[in-house]
Structure 1
């Protein structure tokens, strides 16, 4: 039976209660990264609303994830065809 972790975090000045199977430290680390990205966007453009900054941060994170997945898949193909030397 898995344990559900419950953590209270602040993202963009709002308090959220997050629940997940990951350890609290991991959930907090992820929340802090999202908060950092949102605050960075708002610092660069103070006219952005929290919602718009959150959407832009999400798009930036998703873009990075897609690029990392493509790199990973490319490396897996190289390893499968050439093997590790």
Structure 2
């Protein structure tokens, strides 16, 4: 972690409280927690028999999938931009 001042905030995700410590603003941490909570609730509604651990793993898989797709899109856009510059 950098030398930035650390932020500590308690958030609720899928009915459980978690203390998050990081260098981002409280509003940013709240937004991220809400996105995780929303995705966990979405998965839980679609699969009501899943326990919390499985819901959390599926949420992580979904988040990493979206991250990888965005990375691929960003690389494609960089290539297009470089072609335009050349």
2:56 maps to 1:54? yes
Query: How many residues are paired up?
Result: 83
RMSD: 0.9
After superposition, where does 1:43-82 map in structure 2 within 5 Å? Answer: 43-82=45-84
TM-score, structure 2 as length reference: 0.92
For the residues of structure 2 that align with 1:73 and 1:14, how far apart are their CA atoms?
Answer: 37
Moved over 3 A (4+): none
The one-character-per-residue Cα deviations of 1:24-83 (angstroms, maximum 9, x if unpaired) are 000010011001100111111110101101100110111011000000011011111222
Structure 2 unpaired stretches of 5+: none
